[in-house]
Structure 1
Amino acid sequence: MTRVEGARDPSALIQELAENDIQTFDKPSRDDPFGDLKNRFSRFKKQICLDNPVLYNNLAQAQTPKFMVIACADSRVCPSTVLGFQPGEAFTVRNVANIVPPFEHGPSETNAALEFAVNSLEVGNILVVGHSRCGGIRALMSAEEDADVGKWVSVAKSARLRAKAAAGNQCFDMQCEHCEKESINGSLQNLLSYPWIKQRVVEGKLAIHGGYYDFVNCTFEKWTLVYRENEEDAFKYGIKDQAFWS
């Protein structure tokens, strides 16, 4: 068994892993959380990977995804499953409440992923996907800003204010649903605070989209953000190509 001790050089762990014998368990115990994963991997290898050698050989050389997807970390919301993305089609980052912080907020893993997807991979579309019954949005609407989750989602507090203003007379669940969509649009606008994103949008090389997955009713809404650079602030943003899939 590999022993992980405090303050060890990671290279020492790699060496130890290399020296250990790899054990294969054909009949994992019921308590082994990886037993089912092993079977799933075997099916994936036999039924998908080995049946598509050209695709996977090409992916071994490079990736050229058309989409960058920013989705929630919620275990019920897997964009590849919901939207059927195949390997190589979508560069994906997931965080609590699918939030895009503004550029001036400073470095984060989402910012780094955006920079890589837009500047290196040159994706043509960014899709921010929110969803129903989002725990992060409920924390935002509850103004729970003491915990780490609350501090993170507070980036989207303007969405909470808009939701309260528009749906303050409705029940809390409906306010949260309103905020889930407000937060998506807030993230779409935040994307344009990144200079390299704004430039490519203005040049027509990049499109920004919002999506909302209602997993209770299994429906999906999508829309595209319109940015008018030379208009006054009140008219800079619009929506087009809105669709509802049921």
Structure 2
Amino acid sequence: MYTLWIIIVPLLPFLKSIPTSYFVFGRILDRPLTNCFNVYLYLLISPYTVEREDMAKGSYEKAIVSLQNLLSEKEELKPVVAERIDEITTELQTTGCNSFDPVQRIKTGFYYFKTEIYDKNPELFEKLKKGQEPKFLVFACSDSRVSPSHVLNFQLGEAFMLRNIANMVPPYDKTKYSGVGAVIEYAVVHLKVENILVIGHSACGGIKALMELPEDGSESTDFIEDWVKIGLPAKAKVLAEHGDKTFKEQVKYCEKEAVNVSLANLLTYPFVSDALVNKTLALKGGYYDFMKGRFELWGLNFGLSDPCYI
């Protein structure tokens, strides 16, 4: 629990937007205001101060009200405090600690997209304005290192995607897994994708969690363990066929076998099986090894024919 003496940094935008401003010194205990340093702010511009203990007991809203009351009483402090706020803001932004600025990262990211992609591909974006016609539905892991758009160079409008822990596709269940079912139904029935690709990957934390599930069924997380249990058939097969291997090797086997479990689960969705029978849909499994920079691709035959290595 953080001990809040005075709320300062969260109020900077607020204080800049109001007619008057006032600060007393503040500090947040037990955790620095940035990743790199503790910030102590001093601005003793009046004999009137806010009692720190009272502020600590109050809520964020009470702090704002208290400051507003002080500001209304000390009209003459406007120019002094406005100048000091600018100094504090500059200090926080220029401290030499290589702090990460998420807002600036978002701005620069979109600026690059706008100038280098959007503005340079008017025909593509005119087409996308009219709708989408993706050829793929892709299931991939949420892992930040394995974005399919980068790994397979998917362009905008080319792949409808769902990313989750360990790239799992659960079996058909209108109650428990309706979110996943909605994605599959929309992609197959309405977008009429021609391919569903499930991509596993190396060093998958979700698969490692699956392999580490305790045999007694106990759980230590709210969602993760229950979710990765979708892959229990893969774990069972790996332990039966590769019980003599090291745990690290078993995890690698399971990373691929869990893809096959997801492909099998896709067959439990009526609109998927119907599309397969009508030959309007194909299911494919993939495995991206970012340790070696390799990609493996196979079909729904579950190893009956050789996979394609890229």
Identify the TM-score tier after normalising by the shorter chain.
Answer: 0.7 to 0.9
Change in Cα spacing, 1:47 to 1:77, as seen in structure 2 (3 Å) is same
- Aligned pairs for 1:66-215 (under 5 A) are 66-104=135-173, 106-143=176-213, 146=219, 147=221, 148-215=223-290
Q: Report the secondary structure of 1:169's partner residue.
A: coil
| Aligned residue type for 2:198 | V
CA RMSD between the two structures = 2.0
Shift of 1:60: 1.2
TM-score by length of 1: 0.81
What residue is the counterpart of 1:40 in the other structure? 109
Report sequence identity in percent. Answer: 45
Q: CA deviation at 1:155?
A: 1.3
Matched-pair contact (CA < 8 Å) for 2:141–2:167? yes
Conserved? CA contact 1:69–1:90, under 8 Å: yes
Q: Which has the larger radius of gyration?
A: 2
> How far 1:107 moved relative to its partner?
3.0
Normalised TM-score (structure 2) = 0.65
| Unaligned residue ranges in structure 2 (runs of 5+) | 1-12, 15-59, 61-91, 94-98
CA deviation after TM superposition for structure 1 residue 104, in Å: 3.6
Partner of 1:51: 120
Query: How far apart are the structure 2 equivalents of 1:185 and 1:112?
Result: 21
Structure richer in strand, relative to its length? 1
1:63 to 109, 132, 140: 132
- Distance (whole Å) between structure 1 residues aligned to residue 287 and residue 208 of structure 2: 16
- Conservation of the 8 A alpha-carbon contact between 1:225 and 1:240: no
**Runs (5+) with no aligned partner, structure 1:** 6-27, 227-236
| C-alpha distance in structure 1 between counterparts of 2:292 and 2:103, whole Å | 31
Deviation, 1:240, is 4.8
The runs of at least 4 consecutive aligned structure 1 residues that moved more than 6 Å come to none
Residues in 2 aligned to 1:135 and 1:49: alpha-carbon distance in whole angstroms: 35
Distance in 1 (alpha carbons) for counterparts of 2:305 and 2:104: 46
- State the AA in 2 paired with 1:177: K
